[in-house]
């Protein structure tokens, strides 16, 4: 599992992260999940935008650049919607709806992704 922390605000974003770093895992993402439980997250590499086609639930999305700095935030993106494109993003962290507010994450914050 992967722990994801906002080091700027010293808050935990997710305790149980999973990495999607292959073509297949990035393509599937959260599509096969009925929900995303609290404290879980999916990190999708090489990602500047997401789609919510065929998703069953809303999520929050945190877009992060190569220096682990937050460059984009999308709160409560609903099924069958598209996120904006964040050209500076290197990866996205998909978290349960409300996780951005709970962790107080904002643009410019530093993120730490660490194997447990």
Domain at 102, CATH number: 2.60.120.1140
How far is the C-alpha of 89 from the C-alpha of 49, rounded, in Å? Answer: 8
| Helix (H) or strand (E) run with residue 11 in it | strand 11-20
Boundaries of domain holding 58: 2-115
pLDDT digits (tens, 9 = 90+) for 45-102: 999 999 999 999 999 999 999 999 999 999 999 999 999 999 999 999 999 999 999 9
pLDDT at residue 28 greater than cutoff 90: no
Domain count, the chain: 1
Distance from C-alpha of 23 to C-alpha of 14, rounded to nearest angstrom: 23
Whether this model's pTM surpasses 0.85: yes
Q: Which residue has the tokens 């009925």?
A: 34
């Amino acid at each position: 599992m992967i722990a994801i922390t906002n080091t700027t605000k010293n808050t935990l974003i997710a305790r149980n992260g999973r990495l999607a770093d292959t073509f297949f895992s990035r393509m599937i993402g959260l599509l096969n999940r009925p929900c995303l439980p609290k404290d879980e997250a999916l990190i999708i590499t090489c990602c500047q935008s997401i789609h919510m086609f065929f998703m069953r639930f809303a999520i929050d999305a945190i877009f992060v650049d190569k220096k682990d700095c937050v460059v984009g935030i999308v709160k409560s993106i609903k099924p069958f919607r598209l996120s904006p494109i964040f050209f500076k993003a290197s990866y996205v962290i998909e978290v349960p709806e409300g996780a951005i507010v709970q962790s107080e994450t904002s643009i410019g914050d530093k993120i730490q992704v660490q194997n447990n």
